[in-house]
Amino acid sequence: MEPAPVSLRQLPSVDRLLQTEAAQALVQDFGRSLTLQALRARLEAARDSIREGGALPETLELLAQTREALHGWLVPTLRPVINATGVILHTNLGRAPLSAAAQAAAQAAAAGYGTLEFDLPRGTRGKRDLHAEGLLTHLVGAEAALVVNNNAAAVLLALTGLARRKEVLVSRSQLIEIGGGFRIPEIMQQSGAKLREVGTTNRTHLQDFQAGLSERTALILRVHHSNFRILGFTAEPGLDELAQLARQHGLPLLDDLGSGALLDTAQFGLGHEPTVQESLRAGASLVAFSGDKLLGGPQAGLLVGDRDWIDRLRRHPLARALRPDKLCLAALSATLLHYLREEALEQIPVWRMIAAGAEQQRERALAWQAALGAGEVLESRSTVGGGSLPEETLPTWVLALQARSPDSLAARLREGELPVIARVEQDRVLLDPRTVLAGQDEPLLAVVKSARAAEE
Ligand SMILES: *Cc1c(COP(=O)(O)O)cnc(C)c1O
């Protein structure tokens, strides 16, 4: 005989479920309102399943699933991880880790009240602009500076504030897209400025910019290529030539540097990443760069340059909408101080990782190998990332773990309390010490041990 079809009425009501001990425990752990939400959702799903011919769930099973759902709702999605990929400015992993001083400054700003917009001697309203911007101008030798939420916002603000309803000249070789949907033509459209492409994909000359100028031109834009490179038969005018042209016509030249290094990357065997100081020296009216790329600070967009242009941007209503918060300003100021005190290479994690030699990585990889009694220590390459220095790498040593399924081992490494993010290359799981912070060796080894045991 066929089993009798299950009736929806056989499902317990929310009220009946709530009288069970297991449901009372849920209310204890997750609160009444959220528990009710989860119970209703669970019952709804059970109804759907019964309508499709499913069995009547056990009450205890229903409650266990509800607990799991509640746990899933509340477990944080933004969690710390160990970055063993060897990509220093890993955008998906939050780019730059902050220095100890920057962390402490952000914590102090978060914990209480402060002089965000307060003039202490006078006891009157002060300026938010004062904090990081004073340090920035000292550091790069610019007349003025402005801090916003991120570099995309800095570029958007500059284009909106200076070129809305007018034209912006930019080389066809620089109409880039970088990660996260930042595309020059789209930012341009959003700003209300009209993109006027000049030159060709591989070669653009100063004459192309000259020919593109008209009474509608409001700004000349140069964009760092960031994550790609043009090789072969190529040409772009120098920044100094563009700056001269812009000045002759009373126009601002905006240099979107992207990463915006303040120190020379070439001293560590990498290519030369253009510095903010070089752009200013070449005559850029405004330089835009990120706070959390090679600067090594919190997410922010930094604009430095001529006071007239910066002041116009500061007064623009969009500047208010894009302004940084106190945590950002505290961490940014502390980061900038490292440069002013000439201790950036020692204090800023990003620069410490760039400056660290291969031998240091080898010793750490060997220590991991000894602790695990497994893996091979191999030469490999770390990358800087963050849209800076494409194709450039730093020599490193990694611990390479063999596994029946490297993807499955890598997945297990991501399952721990403190997930470890590794690289899979040629059927091996690679762990690069360069991006594993000091003090993370122990937790990393614990995660690797249990992941390997689970794979057995
Ligand atoms: C990274 C980058 C941006 C965007 O910077 P965010 O701080 O991520 O908003 C803009 N322009 C260039 C050239 C970049 O490399």
How many distinct structural domains can be found in the chain? 3
Nearest CA to ligand 1 atom 7: 151
Indicate which CATH number applies to the domain containing 385: 3.90.1150.110
Mean pLDDT computed over 40-63: 93
DSSP 93: G
Atom of ligand 1 nearest to the CA of 155: 10
Q: Is the pLDDT of residue 229 over 90?
A: no
147 forms bridges with which residues in the sheet? 302
**364, 335: one domain:** no
**177, 286: one domain:** yes
**234, 105: one domain:** yes
Mutate to test the pocket of ligand 1, among 159, 182, 259 (most ligand atoms within 8 A of CB): 182
Burial profile 57-82: b = 16 or more Cβ within 10 angstroms, e = fewer = beeeebbebbbebbeeeeeeeeeebb
Residue 4 inside a domain? The answer is: no
Give residue 368 CA to ligand 1 midpoint distance, Å. Answer: 36
Residue 399 vs residue 387, higher pLDDT: 399
Give residue 394 CA to ligand 1 midpoint distance, Å. Answer: 22
Residue 332 inside a domain? The answer is: yes
Residue type, 455: E
Cβ 165 vs Cβ 131: under 8 Å: no
Atom of ligand 1 nearest to the CA of 387: 15
Cβ 196 vs Cβ 167: under 8 Å: yes
The rounded percent of the chain whose pLDDT value lies above 90 is 90
**414, 427: one domain:** yes
Nearest CA to ligand 1 atom 13: 258
**185, 304: one domain:** yes
**368, 354: one domain:** yes
pLDDT tens digits, residue range 152-202? 999 999 999 999 999 999 999 999 888 778 899 999 999 999 999 999 999
- E strands, 115-235, where? 118-119, 124-125, 144-148, 167-171, 177-178, 182-183, 194-198, 217-223
**178, 315: one domain:** yes
**64, 158: one domain:** no
The residue among 289, 316, 347 that closes a domain is: 347
Burial of 358 (0-12, 13-18, 19+ CB in 10 A): middle
Mutate to test the pocket of ligand 1, among 256, 279, 388 (most ligand atoms within 8 A of CB): 256
**295, 366: one domain:** no
The residue among 315, 347, 379 that closes a domain is: 347
**339, 403: one domain:** no
Q: How far is Cα 143 from Cα 124, in angstroms, rounded to an integer?
A: 26
Mean pLDDT computed over 73-88: 96
Q: How far is Cα 13 from Cα 43, in angstroms, rounded to an integer?
A: 8
Residue 5 inside a domain? The answer is: no
Indicate which CATH number applies to the domain containing 210: 3.40.640.10
**248, 295: one domain:** yes
Cβ 382 vs Cβ 87: under 8 Å: yes
The rounded percent of the chain whose pLDDT value lies above 70 is 99
| Angle (CA) 276 100 84, round 5° | 85
Give residue 158 CA to ligand 1 midpoint distance, Å. Answer: 14
Q: Is 375 in the pocket of ligand 1 (CB under 6 A)?
A: no
The residue among 280, 315, 347 that closes a domain is: 347
Q: Is 314 in the pocket of ligand 1 (CB under 6 A)?
A: no
Mean pLDDT computed over 40-64: 93
Q: Is the pLDDT of residue 370 over 80?
A: yes
Q: Is the pLDDT of residue 392 over 90?
A: no
DSSP 294: T
Torsion of CA 161, 165, 169, 175, to 10 degrees: 80
Q: Is 223 in the pocket of ligand 1 (CB under 6 A)?
A: yes
Say how far residue 324 (Cα) sits from the centre of its chain. 15
Q: Is 57 in the pocket of ligand 1 (CB under 6 A)?
A: no
Residue type, 340: L
Residue (of 393, 355, 350, 344) closest to 267 by Cα position = 355
Residue 320 inside a domain? The answer is: yes
Confidence of residue 422 (pLDDT cuts 50, 70, 90): very high
Q: Which phi and psi angles does 140 have, rounded to 5°?
A: -105, -5
Q: Is the model's pTM score more than 0.95?
A: no
Confidence of residue 107 (pLDDT cuts 50, 70, 90): very high
Q: Is 274 in the pocket of ligand 1 (CB under 6 A)?
A: no
Which alpha helices (H) appear in 283-427, and where do they start and end? 307-315, 317-321, 326-340, 344-347, 349-355, 358-372, 406-413
Atom of ligand 1 nearest to the CA of 257: 13
Q: How far is Cα 403 from Cα 426, in angstroms, rounded to an integer?
A: 11
Residue 110 inside a domain? The answer is: yes
Amino acid 391: pLDDT: 78
Nearest CA to ligand 1 atom 14: 258
Residue (of 47, 38, 86) closest to 66 by Cα position = 38
Q: How far is Cα 193 from Cα 94, in angstroms, rounded to an integer?
A: 31
Mean pLDDT computed over 234-261: 96
Nearest CA to ligand 1 atom 5: 151
Average pLDDT, the chain: 95
Q: How far is Cα 107 from Cα 331, in angstroms, rounded to an integer?
A: 9
What domain range is 326 assigned to?
99-347
Amino acid 139: pLDDT: 97
**241, 160: one domain:** yes
Say how far residue 392 (Cα) sits from the centre of its chain. 20
Residue 386 inside a domain? The answer is: yes
Confidence of residue 8 (pLDDT cuts 50, 70, 90): confident
Q: How far is Cα 239 from Cα 234, in angstroms, rounded to an integer?
A: 16
User: Is 307 strand, coil or helix?
Assistant: helix
Residue 240 inside a domain? The answer is: yes
Residue 3 inside a domain? The answer is: no
